[in-house]
Each structure stands twice: as C-alpha cells, then as structure tokens.
Amino acid sequence: MARPGVRRIVPLTFGWEHIPKSISVHGAPESVRLREPVPGILLEVDGGWFLLDTGFNTPILLDEQLRRRMVHMGIEDELVGTVGDTIERAFEHVGVDPADVVEVAVSHLHYDHAGGIRWFAEHAPIHCQQRELDHALAQRAPEPQALCRVDFDDHRIDWRLGDGDVELAPGITAVATYGHTVGHQSFVVDLADGGGFVFAFDAADLQENLDGELAPGSVATGDVAEAVESIRRLKAIAAEKGYRVIPGHDPVAWPAFTAEMGCQGPTEPGRLLDPGTARRPDGH
Ligand SMILES: [Zn+2]
C-alpha cells in the first residue's frame, strides 16, 4: 500500500561549473580542476512539483559586464548555454512547467543554488534555514562568499524558515548539515511506493566526500569537524533507511543518477549546454 510520500523524482541539470577540486574536497590540490554539474531535483507531490534548488541566475552569467563584476566570487566559465534561462531550459527538457512548482527548498544560498529563486517567488513558498538567510542578509558587500544578494533579497519571496531538521512535506525532510555554509541543509526523500534517497547537495559535492568522509573544501563556518559530522549524519540516516546518499556536484554520480531516474541528460556540457557559448571574463 502506498505511504504518504513523493511519487516521482526528476533530476535537473542547470549547467556545469569549472572549479578547482579544492573547493569540493578539503585538502585537494588547487591545480586539479573539475567540470561539475549544477543539480536541481523535482519531486512530484500532491498538487504539483516540489523543487529542490534552483541553479544559476542565468542573466548574470550571460551579461559580460555583470559577469566581470562577479569574477571575484569565482564565476568564470560556467556553462549555461545562451538560449533562454537555465530554469526554462532544464524544465523544458523534462516536460515540466515552472508554473506547476508549488513549493521550493534551497540547500543554501550560494549563487549556483539560489539563482533561480526569482522564477518561483510569486507563486511558491521558499524553504531555507533561518540562519542561512540571516547570515546572507547580514553581509554588507553585495556578493561575498559566493552569495549573490539579488538572488535572495527579493521582497516577493514567501520565506518558510526552518531551524534544524524539519519535515517540509510528506516524504520530504530537510536535514541540517551545517559546515559548507552556516545554514546548509540536505534532504531526505521518501517515495510513496517505498524506498527513497538522501540528497546531500553541498554537504558532499563528490562521491569521494562521502566515501572518505572528507569535508567540502569550502567550509564557511571554518569548522571542518562539523562539516565531517554532517556527512556522517547523512550516511547514518541513509544506512538506517536503506537509502543511498547522492552527492551534490559529482561529474559521474549525478549523470548516472539522472539516467537511473529515466531522465536522459542534459548530462554533459556540449549537448544541451554548449561550451562554445561560455564566455570568459576577458572576452576570449
Ligand atoms: Zn554548489
């Protein structure tokens, strides 16, 4: 018999970012660069779709001058294509209308996760940890620490702010995984017909963060032990429920998971997301 929960998981890929591995794995060499997918997840629930994370703010990445302005926060050669918006394109690819999203939750407010909030601000409440939003809004600079103020300082947003672990909807639970940011959260998804997954997002970018219990390279709190503890918590929850933990930005695991869910691509830069269209800040 079906239990209350999520009916279907539809992974989205909003683009790819080219970053030093040292951002993903604590202690990794800066000279090694990885092309990492930027994920989102649609969950089919009563009345529509529940969206986890919203990817980039595409207009910023496609406007040469805005992009140059953001260079200090590491926005360099993200691959997002040039036609339309990443939200539009990712949704179109899976045949879902962004207007049918009834609720949104963001893992944290970095520019590669909160950039699409504006698409949903007028019709869907946005879940986030209270401490994440408080911290982000308290910053005086407009774009510090991979935060892009225009993404989240939006009077239209109907915030639903949690403090620690909280059930967001039947079958969707936010789990506090502080470390990568002060209020990062991951998600446990229970499927109505049994089984489920734990989505780490940036608590564990790569499979090796999970396997080796290695902290993210970027730990905003400075508390590396707390970040490792967050990974252990996710693994413990998954072990107890018999679920797998899906890492947030793994170049191999994410496309594999996408295929496993029956959603082929866009899994590689160069197909839907054309690397030829990525412009570098110096114009080359
Ligand atoms: Zn990220």
| CATH fold for domain 8-277 | Metallo-beta-lactamase; Chain A (3.60.15)
**pLDDT of the residue at 231:** 98
**pLDDT of the residue at 1:** 55
> Average pLDDT for consecutive 10-residue bins of the chain (284 residues)?
84 90 91 92 96 94 85 74 84 94 98 96 98 95 86 97 98 97 98 96 98 95 95 98 97 94 62 40 33
| 41, containing H or E segment | strand 33-45
**Residue 182 Cα to ligand 1 middle (Å):** 14
What distance in Å separates the CA atoms of residue 51 and residue 215, rounded to the nearest whole number? 26
**Residue 41 Cα to ligand 1 middle (Å):** 14
**pLDDT of the residue at 83:** 75
**Residue 249 Cα to ligand 1 middle (Å):** 7
Cβ distance 125 to 94 under 8 Å?
A: no
**pLDDT of the residue at 280:** 35
**pLDDT of the residue at 267:** 47
What distance in Å separates the CA atoms of residue 78 and residue 280, rounded to the nearest whole number? 9
Q: What is the end-to-end Cα distance of the chain in Å, rounded?
A: 58
**Residue 21 Cα to ligand 1 middle (Å):** 12
Burial class (CB in 10 A: 0-12, 13-18, 19+), 170: middle
**Residue 180 Cα to ligand 1 middle (Å):** 9
**Residue 1 Cα to ligand 1 middle (Å):** 37
pTM recorded for the entire structure: 0.92
Could you tell me the residue ranges of all domains in the chain? 8-277
Give 280's contacts (C-beta < 8 A, 6+ positions apart). 76, 77
**pLDDT of the residue at 67:** 84
